[in-house]
Structure 1
């Protein structure tokens, strides 16, 4: 199976150049397609959802789109009723939340050009929420318009700093554990 790399890992802010463990987030293309479709459908309001998977698994198996209950179009909050329902469902099915997913729409929310940061970068509010669940990764879809090319990035916190994960999009998880440069040459 072919694998496509979306972005190389990058650290922004004071931690740039710091030695953090290299994290590669592997995501099936059908899940990414569903996430981007949800972001396009909800544009210009931020979309939100969760990637979930088996309690003991390494990879998300499904995307759960959720209702953005925030009244401000440039923010998001999970619907409390949906969030509780999802938590009960995950407990019953032996699954867990693996990634928080949401979109950033290019509203006059912040002067992107002046910060040097990508649109798909955690806002100060996102970072504050990330601190509540420091082991969870956040996937952000940046969209300038509903039909624009999406900018998709994933982040986590390491020692209080926002660190970008490398994102590998694959057709199947079956062969995602190895890359061509990992296979010994048998010539």
Structure 2
């Protein structure tokens, strides 16, 4: 199950809507080993495409160095689909190289400024796609 705050959920949806009709993409980083998304990092779709996304290789290298310096890892890798449902495409499978990440897809195919939209999360490991439940919380529980 993916648990994320309402604020992060809202940021992912807002980015997806803002970049429509192009696909939006980004990462939500969290402390290494926690599976807790905390830091929203919208990225530029270097492909500037309505049908696929691509992280700029330089931006991605910089992001991974920054996460490493902060002892973070990519907890969520997200992107939008502008013309199809929120389900990983064959191209998405080829990009899915973080086996511990949650892959979030937001479909803006049927959206206008107010909605509706689909927000779904998947685990993708060894080419196998497993949809998971998404829980939205106001805040994470305090650490004990």
Same fold (TM over 0.5): yes
Match among 32, 39, 42 for residue 62 of structure 1: 39
Q: Within 5 A, what are the aligned runs for 1:97-176?
A: 97-106=74-83, 119-130=85-96, 132-143=97-108, 144-147=110-113, 148-158=115-125, 160-174=127-141
Is residue 47 from structure 1 mapped to residue 24 from structure 2 by the alignment?
A: yes
Two-structure CA RMSD over aligned residues (Å): 1.6
Q: Is the 8 A contact 1:43 1:145 kept in 2?
A: no
- CA change 1:158–1:82 in 2 (3 A) is closer
1:72 is aligned to 2:49:
yes
Task: Count the aligned residue pairs.
Answer: 140
In 1: Cα distance, 2:34 partner to 2:48 partner: 35
| Length-normalised TM-score, structure 1 | 0.70
Residue 35 of structure 1: CA displacement? Answer: 0.5
Answering whether residue 61 of structure 2 is matched by residue 84 of structure 1, we say yes
Structure 1 runs, 4 residues or longer, greater than 6 Å off: none
- Name the SS of the counterpart of 1:141 in structure 2: strand
| Partner residue of 2:13 out of 36, 40, 51 | 36
Structure number with greater Rg is 1
Q: Distance in 1 between matches of 2:126 and 2:28?
A: 24
For the 8 Å contact 1:43–1:146, the answer to whether it is kept is no
Long gaps (5+) in structure 2:
none
TM-score (norm 2): 0.89
1:158 positional shift: 4.9
Distance 2:13 2:133 in 1: 18
